[in-house]
Amino acid sequence: MTPDFFKRTIHTPFKIVQLCYLLALSFVYFNIERLLFYIYNHEFYAHLSTSEVFRAWMGGWKFDISAGAYINLPVVVICIIGLFLSDQVFCSKWMQNIIRWLFFIPNTLAIILNIGDCGYFPFVLKRTTVTVFQEFANDSPISLFLSLAWDYFGLTLLGIILIVLLWWMSGRIQYAPINKSPLTKRIAFGLIETAAVAFLLVGAMRGGWAHSTRPITLSNASLYVKDTKDRDLVLNTPFCMLRTINKKVLEKVHYLPEDEAKKLFSGIYSAQPTGDKDSIFGQYKDFNVMILIVESFAKEHIGGLQQDKFGYTPHIDSLLKSPDVVYFPYAFANGRKSIDAMPSTLTSIPALGINFVTSCYSGVKLKGIPKVLKQNGYNHSIFMHGAPNGSMGFDAFTNQIGYDEYYGYNEFPNAKSQFDGMWGIWDKPFLKQAVKELSERKEPWLGTLFTVTNHTPFKVPEEDEGKYPKGKLEIHQTMGYTDNALNEFFKDASKQPWFKKTIFILIADHASETIRPEYQSLPGRFAIPMIWYIPGKPLSHLIDTNIVTEQADIFPSLLYLLGIKDPIVTSGQNMFDPNSYHYALIYDGDYRMMTGNKIYSMNQEGKVKEETIHTPLLPKLKGNETTTPPKVLPAIIQNFNERLIDDKMVPANDKAKI
């Protein structure tokens, strides 16, 4: 090649083409870096088939595009400004140098991060996140960087070559006008191109444009692999760093001596009879399980759970009177968001200072309800949610914890005709379709359904307008609609052969807006229904329900009923065990534990304050109850933080494939 080849520049008459070229170059580099990551760490992915590697790679493009949109934002902004500048200014040497350096610097950092992780990954088995600053807080970053660069000299040399090539390639295409552009034309075309770039940029950063889709996070990568440990092939390190900035990083705490903390709370539960006269343990072996997580279905608006019996859910009120139902009147959500309810309910991980799904720890090994049931003979598990697939990252999370099937908007027949215009399929037709889908799955199965309609802007279908009391809050009308949808669900289900061999668990994802004075309190902000409905084999009404329960209790309690002894990691308790402590854990800046008629509050330093509360939202104690000692709260947080940081959310002696 002649020296002129390396100086050759291709000219384009369109300013936007120069920007598109730089963005495409950045994307190509992300793929080169993923290829090097795969080659260098091939032993960790040798078990993947060609099709599985291809799926992970294609899924990775979404994360490459997102990271590329963020790191190239400076060059995008300067190029957008350039659209409105004269050709003379835009083509000037200083302007072209600004464009080139704003592209080169962040993309060089991306090369360093991705290439660096090629060598660092075998030691930690995960992509680097902002937790690295905590892990090496006592080391000099410069000396550490130089040491690693020397230890992995081959990768360092490869990185230098890529950086040099990046500089050369970044200047190969430049704008060169054919004719002078008048001001009006520059403004007109500039506005159109700016709007197009802004639209594409927002979608690229978020991973999509749907308002129901949360910006993609690390956990979304689980959608493209069967096993969470393989998701690092999907991800890239700049994305992981960007997405964990400002995310809370847990610290190992030592509020109590280790032996005392483990004695108070081990974090391990293995179902067993609660005593010699236990008549419940294992009595529901091989029953189907149907978990209904109802959007914003707060306890406050359910008449059957109020002292004055006034509410907006006549059908649930009627169900509560059924001899086939046992409900816990003092139940609480572990968080205030829908995305908190999923890990709390399905894996017993409450939102204690972090949102697990969007946190730095979302890649830890998990053993949730679907995996445990599958390991014990269940034939199928299905998660159903009427929102567009990808909404809230539910599809990725349910894939991560082992659901066999995700049934959403994309799978619903003729979905557009039943779309509510905002969130997804109306609850009534979706719940009706759910019965049909469940009837086609091989028993025993696990079904989980998350509703959507009872959510702002609190609309109901036109044909249902005026059917439900509007009450004093907008949510009251949609509470009535969803209540009716649940009633029709149970009516349709009662006609199916599987109905009387199914455990139905009905809860809310979180509480909602309040109007009753007693709910404008800490317990009121988290109060939800907790209903166990087993029409074929009702639970005993001698069960003590005068206790505090939480979403995180569902996992251990269910295993107890099914007689599954597999050990699990849980922050909850078996709500059917009269010998256990019973409590609800929440975080609102301080750690809180509601237990009996008390609330324990603990700050970040581990200081616990005890308060006795007189409210209808907590149990009235008779005097002979087992009380939870205040020290259990710091013991739980100590255990919780350590397990997430050290990736110990699966029991150490668990031999099952996770």
420 contacts 355 by C-beta, under 8 angstroms = no
372 contacts 270 by C-beta, under 8 angstroms = no
Copy the structure tokens of residue 285.
């072996």
Residues 297-343 have pLDDT tens digits of: 999 999 999 999 999 999 999 999 999 999 999 999 999 999 999 99
Copy the structure tokens of residue 529.
């229904």
Cross-strand pairs, 585: 593
Q: What does the DSSP assignment read for 116-141?
A: HHHHHHHHHSS---THHHHHTTTS-H
Beta strand 173-175 pairing with 10-12:
parallel
DSSP state letter for 425: B
Please list, in sequence order, all residues whose beta carbon lies within 8 angstroms of the beta carbon of residue 506, skipping any fewer than 6 positions away: 292, 294, 316, 486, 529, 531, 533
Copy the structure tokens of residue 199.
């639209």
**What is the strand order of the sheet 530-533 is part of?**
325-327, 530-533, 502-508, 288-294, 445-450, 380-385, 405-407
Percent of the chain, pLDDT > 90?
Answer: 79
Please list, in sequence order, all residues whose beta carbon lies within 8 angstroms of the beta carbon of residue 290, skipping any fewer than 6 positions away: 438, 447, 448, 449, 502, 503, 504, 505
Residues 219-278 have pLDDT tens digits of: 999 999 998 889 999 999 999 999 988 888 899 999 999 999 999 999 999 999 999 999
Q: Read off the pLDDT of each residue in 78-86 and give the average, rounded to a whole number.
A: 91
494 vs 7, more confident = 494
Average pLDDT for the chain: 92
Rounded-to-integer distance, Cα 168 and Cα 160, Å: 12
pLDDT of residue 9: 81
Q: Read off the pLDDT of each residue in 159-177 and give the average, rounded to a whole number.
A: 92
User: Between the CA of residue 202 and those of 5, 66, 69, 339, what are the distances in Å?
Assistant: 37, 9, 8, 22
Residues 374-387 have pLDDT tens digits of: 999 999 999 999 99
DSSP state letter for 216: P
Residue 235, amino acid: L
Residues 597-621 have pLDDT tens digits of: 999 999 999 999 999 999 999 999 8
- Tally the residues of the chain: 658
Cross-strand pairs, 383: 406, 448
Rounded-to-integer distance, Cα 553 and Cα 640, Å: 15
Percent of the chain, pLDDT > 70?
Answer: 95
User: Between the CA of residue 556 and those of 369, 501, 553, what are the distances in Å?
Assistant: 9, 20, 6
pLDDT of residue 658: 42
pLDDT of residue 657 exceeding 50, the answer is no
Rounded-to-integer distance, Cα 305 and Cα 320, Å: 9
Copy the structure tokens of residue 194.
């700016």
Copy the structure tokens of residue 142.
């410069």
pLDDT of residue 218: 92
Residues 116-141 have pLDDT tens digits of: 999 888 888 889 888 777 666 555 65
Residues 496-516 have pLDDT tens digits of: 999 999 999 999 999 999 999
Run of H or E including 10:
strand 10-12
Q: What does the DSSP assignment read for 94-107?
A: HHHHHHHHHHHHHH
Residues 34-59 have pLDDT tens digits of: 999 999 999 999 999 999 999 999 99
Cross-strand pairs, 445: 380
Please list, in sequence order, all residues whose beta carbon lies within 8 angstroms of the beta carbon of residue 466, skipping any fewer than 6 positions away: none
Copy the structure tokens of residue 515.
């109007």
Residues 471-492 have pLDDT tens digits of: 999 999 999 999 999 999 999 9
Looking up tokens 């937790």 gives: 131
Rounded-to-integer distance, Cα 401 and Cα 371, Å: 7
Between the ranges 73-87, 351-365, 571-585, where is the mean pLDDT highest? 571-585
Please list, in sequence order, all residues whose beta carbon lies within 8 angstroms of the beta carbon of residue 439, skipping any fewer than 6 positions away: 496, 498
pLDDT of residue 2 exceeding 70, the answer is no
